Structure 1
């Protein structure tokens, strides 16, 4: 009888709907609990600022309050002196550090802003200790909500300064893509890209950079951002009787398009865009499906002059972006000669 029920389509649809409702209920409950906790922390932070302003208790109030609250509520975590300092800093960060006494008690500053209620407390502590402005903090709050970032991912993107790099790519998207797609494309690219997770020797070649990025694909995908899927490296395309090889090819699920990535270990030159344009055309004609949006090309160079990049892209009809990359982990060229070659390693392995 149980097997008959499990095989019934109506039962399966009902079960799927029920699972969805339960999950939504869990999310709502979690958001509600988080909101109530944040409201408590906000009120405590507000009270600490107000009491320190009104009284002569000084910073000792935080140590004493922590001790008393932990004695009164030993089963509740979150009342350490460090966390109370965070509550004070959090309140001041969004209310302004030079708040006058009458403003502290005002409704506008005593009530927690709605925009901070939807991400966890530990995300907030990272944001207020690492961000320099409310605008920057709001950027990371928004991205956390949009992308579902964990605390570790948030820390990574703050560390690589996504706030100042995202959307800064020189591109021609506004003239080659529809308005909405143009905005999404500009937002998904960065300038510069941070390749500090790589270690290369001086004088490294493009193939070495490409291989290093492929070997560290997880980190590279994290640096590219949400939505990128790796299609391949040195992807072959046949045009006429000639064969060509694309450095790296990705597909972006949010944009629903292929992204051709070409790497250059030198400063940008205008002729680089011509080859990238050619590759984008080839992917559009040979690999793009009817449901895919136009392919986008991204050229990542060691360096570039923005005005030259802008001039280069002005009359190109395919959507292209040009970015630089940072790479600080460079070993001296002499270090290369001290390393065994692949052939030497394979030869030694045969002796075991």
Structure 2
């Protein structure tokens, strides 16, 4: 029974995380499109102010998090990267901040899921360049 409880909790967390990421990707795509149409950073910040007024209990709509959503949608436009759903938002922010090359970002995302790295361990692995010590076969983002 204990294993079933842990398994069910993990499945629920993945489902919530997947839904949150879908929302963040949608918001990010919208921001990308609007910025391409000429929206300024000030307008995006105003949007964040409006969203925070509508959802006062949510910290998700800060200017920096809206920028992460835009960068997330830009970095992973295709939601067909299932391992991302297993990463908390903090891990994704670290990947966006620390790894510019898309293939390396995918490698670190897959490694974080595979090895259960915490956000701090992920950051340390990136800074240590652990991708240089691991065979390329490990680099696929697909399961």
Classify the TM-score, shorter chain: 0.7 to 0.9
1:139 Cα shift? 0.8
Task: Say if 2:79 is the partner of 1:112.
Answer: yes
Choose between structure 1 and 2 for higher RCO, CA contacts under 8 A separated by at least 6 residues: 2
**How far apart are the structure 2 equivalents of 1:145 and 1:53?**
33
Stretches (4+) displaced over 6 A: none
Q: Please say if 1:121 is aligned against 2:89.
A: yes
Quote the offset at 1:122 in angstroms: 0.7
TM-score with structure 2 length normalisation?
A: 0.88
Match of 2:141 in 1: none
Q: Secondary structure at the match of 1:76?
A: coil
Q: Which SS does the other structure have where 2:50 is aligned?
A: helix
What is the deviation of 1:61?
2.2
1:167-199 Cα distance to aligned partner (Å, 9 max, x none): 49xxxxxxxxxxxxxx8xxx8xxxxxxxxxxxx
Q: CA deviation at 1:77?
A: 1.8
Considering fraction of residues, name the structure with more strand: 1
TM-score by length of 1: 0.37
Q: Does 1:93 align with 2:61?
A: no
**1:137 Cα offset (Å):** 0.8
Q: How many residues align?
A: 137
The CA distance in 2 between the partners of 1:74 and 1:132, in whole Å, is: 33
Gaps of 5+ in 1: 1-17, 96-110, 169-182, 188-352
Could you tell me which residue of structure 2 aligns to residue 33 of structure 1? 16
1:256-279 CA-to-partner distances (Å, cap 9, x unmatched) read xxxxxxxxxxxxxxxxxxxxxxxx
